[in-house]
Every structure is written in structure tokens, then in C-alpha cells.
Copies of this chain bind each other. A is one copy, B any other.
């Protein structure tokens, strides 16, 4: 037979107390005699009482659940961020509800409704790449739902209940290209994603600025736009190799396209990094397994998750650190591996 869970009312009856007293005994509430508190705690332990969080949340008007919306949880990056989020949230006594937008704005909107209808205490969102229009976030802003964007933020949207944590894509790209230049490469190509996506735009800028700062010209034909799949990386590399002045290095806005390029280079009998150097972005797991291992930019994903939760906690409890919560920009770390080290150490 189905077992109903013990409620506060049950315990109150058993102990001949009012429900309110039992409730108080189970929380930090001061005005309860130590004796009753003991009795209640004891019984609760015996019966394995667990509060119905639904009821708590309904009464209090807010739950201890945080909502997370990510484009997907494939690959390396988002799972790590989510892990960081889950860790930090649990430590702070919150649990986490995760939805995937599958990079679709409509689905994203549905997810947000779902989560707000579940009365989450706050939201952590990484935007779908198709999202341009911010209408569905306007509603959240008006309802004062605390909201932290991570990785893919909506620049236009600000408010007292909104913050964000992103990585400094510009700095990461700049560091990678500066490194290639320091190694002596001079004809550096770039694989970019669509520029209307912020991260790709900023990585592209970092690339250009690094060239500029080192007195090198920007050559349009060295930039290849694609969705950055492995296939696209291969295609891009083939195309670059057909140029009269072919590049001696490629900085790719992700790692997958780097691998595609690597495979084509091998096909052509070119050596990496002796003939052509490669540097990617994201520190995907497989970058350590390729030959040579790929230089890349680490995105401190777990840290991003933790920081995003910190931001959200500040929004939820302004008491601890009053004043506006400022967006955070994390500095990514360049991981130099064999694919870009021309000078073999002696």
C-alpha cells in the first residue's frame, strides 16, 4: 500500500502540539522551549520527516531551486559549467533545474516559462545562438526574477536584478595570436563563426588587434567563416592551402575546426607545427589526444559556473554585499601545446 509521508500536522497531533509550534521547533526560530524542540526533533528523526518543499515554496513565495537554461549539454564546455553551477548551488542550499534550449529561441522561451512557473528563486541562462530578440527576457526583468547570464549574454539587457559572467574572448584570442607571432609565425589565418554571435565577433577582434599591434596587415582572404564543425575546418584549410600566399598558422575560434584542419594538413603531407601551426579555442577534451596535441584557450568553465551562482546569490541576498552586482569577465588561459611551438626546447 502507498505510504503517505509524515506531515507537520501528523507530528503535531502525535505530540499534542499546534502545527505552528512544530514548525518553529524545526527551524531556527528562537521562542521555543528547549524541551519541546527536543521532543519534536526526536519524533521527526524517528519518523524520517522531510518537509514538502512544494508547500514551503508556495507559502514563502519562492523556492530554493535555481533554474538553468543552456543551449545543450554536449561537448566539454557546458557540462563543466553546469557542474560548477550544481556544486556551488548545492553548497548554498539550492538545488538546480536544468533545461536545454537546443539553440532554439522558441524552446528557450518555453524553458523560461517552465522554470518561472515552477517558481524558481533565480535563473542562470546561456543564450541560444539564434536569440536576437529579448522580448521573453523583458518579462523576467519586469517580474524582478534574479537572472544571471553566463557565457552567452544579452548585452542590451540590464537591471538591478540582472548580471552576467562571460569570458574575455577578446583577450583569449589576442593571447593565442600573440603567442603564434612570438613563435615566429607571420601569416596567421583565422577560422571564425558567424559574427552576429558575440563570442565569435570578439575573438575575431582579438585576432585582428593582435595582428595590428604587431605591425602585420589584416588579409581578408585569410579569414574563413563557417559553423566551425570538423568538416568546416577541413574545408577551410583546403581553401587556405590553395592561396598563392598560404598561411603558416591558423587560429580557430573553436577546437573542432582545428582538428579538421589538422587532418587536411596531414593529408597534404605538411607538418604541424613545423610547416603550419594550429591554435584553437575551448580546451575541448580531445585536444590532448590529437597528434600533436592542440594549443588552445581554456575557458575556466567550472569556475564560470561557480561565479555565476555567486552572482545570483548576491542578487538574491543583497544583504551581504549591498550595491549593484557588476558583470564579471573571466580571463581565459592560453594552454600552449605542441601544435604551436615552433622552437623545440633544447
Contact = CB atoms under 8 A, between A and B. Distances in A.
A254 B151 CA distance: 32
Contacts of A291: 291
A54 B97 contact: no
Given A53-B117, A118-B53, A143-B2, A100 B83 contact: yes
Contact of A53 (B83, B119, B143): B119
Nearest to A68: B98
Contact of A143 (B5, B75, B98, B139): B5
Nearest to A51: B117
B259 A116 contact: no
Contact of A72 (B83, B96, B97, B114): B83
Given A79-B73, A117-B50, A118-B53, A97 B100 contact: no
Contacts of A3: 142-144
Interface in A74-90: 74-75, 79-80, 82-83, 86
Contacts of A50: 113, 116-117
B52 A119 contact: yes
Nearest to A119: B54
Residue of A2, A54, A144 with most chain B CB atoms under a 10 A cut-off: A54
Contact of A98 (B52, B55, B57, B96): B96
A289 interface: yes
A299 interface: no
Contacts of A53: 117-119
A72 B285 CA distance: 16
B98 A259 contact: no
B73 A82 contact: yes
Interface in A114-153: 114, 116-119, 139, 142-144
Interface string A166-182: 00000000000000000
B86 A79 contact: no
A63 interface: yes
A98 B100 contact: no
Interface string A1-32: 01101000000000000000000000000000
A144 B2 CA distance: 6
A95 interface: yes
Nearest to A97: B97
A42 B83 CA distance: 42
A46 to B, nearest CB: 14
A142 B48 CA distance: 13
Interface of A: 2-3, 5, 48, 50-55, 57-58, 63, 65, 72-75, 79-80, 82-83, 86, 95-100, 113-114, 116-119, 139, 142-144, 259, 285-286, 289-291
10 contacts: A50-B113, A51-B117, A52-B58, A52-B119, A53-B119, A54-B119, A65-B118, A73-B79, A95-B114, A289-B289
Given A97-B98, A286-B286, 19 more contacts: A2-B144, A50-B116, A51-B117, A52-B117, A52-B119, A54-B118, A54-B119, A55-B58, A74-B79, A74-B83, A75-B285, A79-B79, A86-B98, A86-B100, A95-B118, A96-B98, A98-B98, A290-B290, A291-B291
